Structure 1
Amino acid sequence: MFYWWMKQVLVGPLLRLMFRPWNRGVENVPAEGGVILASNHLAVIDSFVLPLVLDRKVQFLGKSDYFTGKGVKGRLTAGFMRGIGTIPVDRSGGKASEAALNTGLRVLDEGGLFGIYPEGTRSPDGRLHRGKTGVARLALESGAPVVPVAMIGTGESQPIGKRIPKPMRIGVVLGEPLDFSRYKGMEDDRFILRAVTDEIMYAVMRLSGQEYVDIYAATAKARMAAGHPTAQPPAGAVAPGGRPAPDVQVPEPPEEPERPSVD
C-alpha cells in the first residue's frame, strides 16, 4: 500500500513531470511470477524511473546505510527508499554477495520483479561494461526469466557527481524474456555463469546501443580516479562473449504530438 501511495500519489507524478518517460517493450514483462529485470546502469535515478513504466512493483537492493540514518533526514530517507521498493542489504561484509543473492531469490520465489544491475555499479563513462556473474547465478537458481532493460538518457540527466537530475525525456526499453532453463543445475559451473552473463549483456547492448568495453565498471572507475586513460575497444569492436559488435543505435524517443495552437 505504501509503495502504491509513493508511486501514484507522491513521487510518481513529480518524476513523470520531470522526465516524461517513454517506453518500448513493456509487454515483454510477464504479468505475474518472478522475473529478473537486468538493466544497464547510468545514474542513481535509474531505480526511480524504471518502475514508472511498469504496473508491477519493482524491487532493487540498496545500501543498508540508507535505512539507518538518524534524525528527521534519516527517517525521511529510509521511508522514501522503502516506499520505492528498495530492500536494504549490508554490502560491507565478506558475505555481501551471498546476502544479495538470497534476497533476490526470496523476491523471485514470492513472485516479484527483481531489478539488478549486472555491471555492479554505475558506468563511469557511459559505455556498457563487463557483467558480473551474480545475475546468471540468480537466474539459474531461481529459474526465473531474465528481461533485459536499457535505460536511455539517465546518464545525461544525472551524470556522476550531480545530485539533482536535469529535467528531460528519459526512455526505458525492455527486451524479450531470456530463458536459461537449459542450464538448470549448472549454477556452480563458472564457464556457464560467464556464458549466461555475456548473453544477458549482449541483449542489453542491442537494446541500449551502447559501446561495450570488456572490463568491469568498478575497474574502469578506479583507473579514471587514478588518472589513467580509460580502456579503448580493440580494432573491430567486440560485444560480450567476444562476438562482433552488432550494428545498433541508441534508441530515440517517439515524436510528441503537436499541441494545438491557442489563438
Structure 2
Amino acid sequence: MFYWLLKYVVLGPVLKLLFRPDVRGLPHLPRSGPVILACNHLSFSDSIFTPLVVGRRVTFVAKAEYFTGKGIKGWLMRQFFSGTGTIPVDRSGGRAAQAALNTLLRVLREGGVAGIYPEGTRSPDGRLYRGKTGVARLVLESGALVVPVALLNTDEIQPTGTLIPKVKRVRMRFGEPLDFSRYAQAKGDRFVERAITDEIMFELMAMSGREYVDVYASKLKTSVESPGSRDQSRTPPVVVEGAEKG
C-alpha cells in the first residue's frame, strides 16, 4: 500500500514533472512473469528512476546502511527505500553477495521483477565495466527473461558524491528481452555463466554507447584508492561505433 502511495500519488508525479523521463522501449517489458532488469550503474538515482517508469513493482537490494541512518535524512531514506520495495542486505560478510542473490531469486520465483546492476557497483568514471556473473546465476536458477536497461545520463543528473540532483531530463532505454532458456541445463557451469553475463553487458554497451572496459569496476576503485597503485583508469576501452546516443 505504501509503495502504491509513494509511486503513484506522492513522489512519482513530482519526479516525473521535474525530470520528464525520456523512455524508449518500455513495451519490451513483459506485463507478467519473472523478469530481471539488468541495468548499467551510473548514479545513486538509478534505483529511483528505474522503478519510477516501470508499471510493475521492481525490487532492488541495497546495503543495510541506507536503512539505519539517523535524523531527518536517515528517516527519509528509510521511508523511500522501504516504500519503493528495496530490500536491505548486510554487505559486511563474505556471504553478502549470495544473500542479495537469494533475495532477488525469491522475488523472481514469486513472478516479480528484480533489478540488478551486473557491474556490482557504480561506475567510477561513466564507462561500462565487466559484469559479475551473479546475474547469470539468477537467470539459470529462475528461468527469467532479462530486459537490459540503459541509463544514459543519470551521472549528469546526480554525480557520485552529490546529494541534490540536478533538474534535467532523464533518458532511459529498455531493450528487447533476452531469453537464455537454451542454457537451462547448465546450472553451475562457470563458462556458461560468463557467456550469459557477457551477452548482457554487450547489449548494455550497444544501447548506452558507453565505452566498455574489461575489468571489474570494484577492482579499479580499489586500485585507485590504494596508495602508490598503478592508474588502471587508462585501460583501453572497447567502443561501439554508432551506438544509441539517445
User: In which range does the TM-score fall when normalised by the shorter chain?
Assistant: over 0.9
Query: How many angstroms does 1:158 deviate by?
Result: 1.1
* 1:24 aligned residue: 24
* 2:205 aligned residue: 205
Q: Which runs of 5+ in 2 are unaligned?
A: none
> Is 1:46 aligned to 2:46, yes or no?
yes
* 2:241 counterpart (225, 243, 247): 247
AA aligned to 1:37 is L
Query: How many angstroms does 1:75 deviate by?
Result: 3.7
Report the Cα distance in structure 1 between the residues aligned to 2:97 and 2:13, rounded to whole angstroms: 34
Query: How many angstroms does 1:79 deviate by?
Result: 1.7
Query: How many angstroms does 1:172 deviate by?
Result: 1.1
* 1:242 aligned residue: none
Report the Cα distance in structure 2 between the residues aligned to 1:90 and 1:219, rounded to whole angstroms: 20
Deviations 1:69-126 (A, max 9, x none): 4555544332221111211111111111221111111000111110000000000010
* 1:97 aligned residue: 97
Q: Where do 1:67-216 residues align within 5 Å?
A: 67-70=67-70, 73-216=73-216
Report the Cα distance in structure 2 between the residues aligned to 1:195 and 1:17, rounded to whole angstroms: 40
Q: Give SS of 2:182's match.
A: helix
AA aligned to 1:246 is V
Change (3 A) 1:247 1:73: closer
Query: How many angstroms does 1:179 deviate by?
Result: 0.7
Q: Give SS of 2:115's match.
A: strand
Is this contact kept in 1: 2:132–2:197, CA < 8 A? yes
Moved more, 12-21 or 116-125: 12-21
Query: How many angstroms does 1:168 deviate by?
Result: 0.5
AA aligned to 2:147 is V
Query: How many angstroms does 1:18 deviate by?
Result: 2.5
AA aligned to 2:234 is Q
Deviations 1:33-80 (A, max 9, x none): 110000000000001011222111111001122223455554433222
Q: Give SS of 1:165's match.
A: coil
Report the Cα distance in structure 2 between the residues aligned to 1:72 and 1:121, rounded to whole angstroms: 26
Q: Give SS of 1:231's match.
A: helix
Query: How many angstroms does 1:246 deviate by?
Result: 3.3
Percentage of pairs with the same residue: 57
Deviations 1:204-251 (A, max 9, x none): 1111010000011111222333464343344xx54xxxxxx5323352
Is this contact kept in 1: 2:211–2:240, CA < 8 A? no
Deviations 1:168-197 (A, max 9, x none): 011110101111111113221111111110
Change (3 A) 1:94 1:147: same
Q: Which runs of 5+ in 1 are unaligned?
A: 239-244, 253-263
* 1:232 aligned residue: 234
Report the TM-score when normalising by structure 1. 0.87
Report the Cα distance in structure 2 between the residues aligned to 1:32 and 1:79, rounded to whole angstroms: 27
Q: Give SS of 1:18's match.
A: helix
Report the Cα distance in structure 2 between the residues aligned to 1:230 and 1:18, rounded to whole angstroms: 37
* 1:11 aligned residue: 11
Is this contact kept in 2: 1:69–1:78, CA < 8 A? yes
In our comparison, the structure showing a higher alpha carbon Rg is: 1
